[in-house]
Structure 1
Amino acid sequence: MNLVIQLLVSLLVILSIILVVGVPVTLASPGQWEKSKNLVYTSIGIWVGLVIVTGVINSFII
Structure 2
Amino acid sequence: MTREQALSRAVDAANEARALAGKAKDAAYGRESTARTALYATASRAWSDAAQAYIGIAAELAVDEKPEA
> d(CA) in 2 for partners of 1:16 and 1:31?
19
> d(CA) in 1 for partners of 2:59 and 2:36?
36
Larger relative contact order (CA 8 Å, sep ≥ 6):
1
> d(CA) in 2 for partners of 1:14 and 1:33?
23
TM-score in terms of structure 1 length: 0.61
The percent of aligned pairs where both chains have the same amino acid is 5
Contact persistence 1:12–1:47 (CA under 8 A): yes
Q: Which residue of 2 aligns with 1:52?
A: 53
For structure 1, list consecutive stretches of 5 or more residues without a partner in the other structure: none
1:36 and 1:24, CA in 2 relative to 1: closer, same or farther beyond 3 A? Answer: closer
> d(CA) in 1 for partners of 2:37 and 2:24?
9
For structure 2, list consecutive stretches of 5 or more residues without a partner in the other structure: 64-69
> d(CA) in 2 for partners of 1:45 and 1:12?
9
Q: Which residue of 1 aligns with 2:67?
A: none
Q: Which residue of 1 aligns with 2:14?
A: 13
Give the superposition deviation at 1:20: 4.0
State the Cα deviation string for residues 27-57 of structure 1 (Å, max 9, x = none).
1113432234234313312321321232233
Larger CA Rg, structure 1 vs 2: 2
What CA RMSD, in Å, does the superposition of the two structures yield over aligned residues? 2.4
